[in-house]
């Protein structure tokens, strides 16, 4: 049986450095304060600062921003959110508005920032008829999420994927709310398993989980 421990180590302690080096050689230890890199899932609640934090990791680099939302001119509040997101992105970034995240993950290129998986899921739930319980919707959704998770696992490029953490509150009072919470939890778990790192942002403070 194995167990996991979280300890603080003084880098000036020679014995601690030797122990960590031995454990690292076996693949049994990793630093939790390393800069985020590779395939990174960034979780957080509403207005937690998760998107802003993810953007800062790539601000000084060329990057491709994959926006999963769809502009809706009839929704003034949503359009204002979209405008604010667009304005804070660096001018040297490329922005692509798409639901086909898997295809972009499947080929080489500059780092990707996907924002966000919760919106990606919502649009796919719409498309497969989940809200009205259309026949076959779950199988169709499972196929789409499996393709996304596989693309994350096999991606040759650096990618930051932002998603909402919605499972820590009260049980939603509607079927639609419970369905969304459950499916997003499954999606987040699948993507987390495929990522090199997972970070949780709470009140603007990031903490590495994986």
> Backbone phi, then psi, for 185, in 5-degree steps?
-60, -45
Beta-carbon contacts of residue 98 (< 8 Å; ≥ 6 apart): 66, 67, 68, 104
Tell me whether residue 85 is one of the annotated catalytic residues.
Answer: yes
- Cα(57)–Cα(62) distance, integer angstroms: 11
- φ, ψ of residue 14 to 5 degrees: the values are -65, -45
- Which residue is associated with the tokens 């922005």? 95
Marked catalytic residue, from 85, 92, 104, 107: 85
Backbone angles phi, psi at 91, to 5 degrees: -65, -25
DSSP string, 44-86: E-TTSSHHHHHHHHHTTS--EEEE-----TT-HHHHHHHHHHH
Residues known to be catalytic: 85
């Amino acid at each position: 049986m194995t167990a996991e421990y979280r300890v603080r180590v003084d880098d000036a302690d020679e014995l601690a450095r030797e122990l960590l080096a031995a454990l690292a050689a076996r693949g049994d230890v990793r630093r939790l304060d390393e800069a985020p890199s590779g395939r990174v899932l960034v979780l957080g609640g509403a207005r937690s600062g998760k998107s802003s934090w993810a953007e800062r990791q790539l601000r000084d680099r060329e990057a491709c921003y994959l926006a999963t939302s769809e502009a809706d001119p009839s929704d003034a509040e949503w359009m204002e959110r979209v405008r604010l997101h667009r304005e804070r992105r660096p001018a040297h970034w490329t922005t692509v508005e798409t639901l086909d995240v898997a295809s972009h993950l499947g080929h080489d290129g500059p780092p990707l920032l996907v924002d966000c998986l919760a919106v990606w899921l919502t649009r796919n739930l719409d498309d497969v008829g989940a809200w009205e319980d259309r026949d076959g919707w779950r199988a169709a959704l499972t196929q789409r999420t499996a393709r996304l998770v596989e693309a994350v696992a096999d991606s040759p490029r650096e990618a930051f994927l932002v998603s909402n953490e919605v499972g820590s509150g009260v049980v939603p009072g509607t079927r639609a709310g419970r369905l969304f919470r459950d499916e997003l939890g499954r999606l987040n778990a699948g993507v987390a398993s495929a990522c090199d790192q997972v970070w949780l942002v709470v009140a603007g403070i990031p903490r590495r989980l994986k």
